[in-house]
Homo-oligomer: A and B are copies of this chain.
């Protein structure tokens, strides 16, 4: 345990402010904490002193008495590369950061490499180093997270995770986008454009997000009395999208539209379509999902379902903040998606 206390020159203390303003420390504390019971004169005097001294409260001292650390952990049980490489996470973190900027809390990044023992992270979280935790991951929040939820306010972000606690009650707090509704939106748009033979390329069948999107596609179709037989499965990658499109085209030559569960797959599908001489969107319309780089990078800009990812981060942080403030926020927040119209449909 190294205690590298680098002597900070002269950070002013509350006491000095009090002296300069000619009041007691308690009074200074009151104006700092915006107590209503301070006379205007004293108030301004103290504020002047604070400004002059460039005073900033000592967080540690405050934490000590407030019994709160005023910091929350951002737990990332994900390989650093996956985490950083994914624009989805970038947006979430941006949102979290933005929301927290407007609060007194700071973010403690907790890279919980999935490989190495989680024990340290557990100890950290449970050790009272943070007042709450935000967990973002594509993975399901296994046992590890289930347990911390009992000792610490936690809100999960990202695709749906573990179902419900062993206790049977809806577990923890989380925010997610409404994948199903997003898929409905995308598919409806296709229907409204007059398409009738609408297929889908799904994501892996063991991922909730993929399942939900397929379900949404089906919902919209049923709602319009259309057939939901044109289905091919992919795994969210570009190549799988190309393959699935081939399959779809072979089996359903009448196909006039495809709702694809990810932009990457849609991009692959576009290649296949081009190879086979189908004009997009004239012959076959394509709607993607994610509004990722793929949506704008290719030759044909993708009409796609966008997720309010940054907003998710904001809501996550906000939910945790409310929890910490003793309020009772919603346990699950499902954010709406938005259809971005571009050239492919």
Contact = CB atoms under 8 A, between A and B. Distances in A.
Given A84-B84, A85-B84, A97-B111, A3 B103 contact: no
A128 B89 contact: no
A109 interface: yes
Interface of A: 1-8, 11, 32-34, 56, 58-61, 63-64, 66-69, 71, 74, 80-81, 83-87, 89-91, 93-94, 97, 101, 103-104, 106-109, 111, 113, 120, 123-124, 126-129, 131-132, 153, 321, 323-326
Q: Which of A5, A7, A131 has the largest count of B CB atoms less than 10 A from its CB?
A: A5
Contacts of A8: 67, 128
Contact of A60 (B11, B69, B103): B69
Given A2-B103, A8-B67, A80-B94, 19 more contacts: A2-B324, A3-B66, A4-B131, A4-B323, A5-B67, A11-B128, A56-B128, A58-B64, A59-B129, A60-B61, A60-B63, A61-B64, A63-B63, A64-B64, A80-B93, A81-B87, A83-B84, A97-B109, A108-B109
A324 B5 CA distance: 7
Nearest to A322: B4
Contact of A69 (B59, B84, B324): B59
A157 to B, nearest CB: 15
Given A80-B91, A85-B90, A87-B84, A68 B321 contact: no
Given A60-B64, A64-B58, A324-B4, A101 B128 contact: no
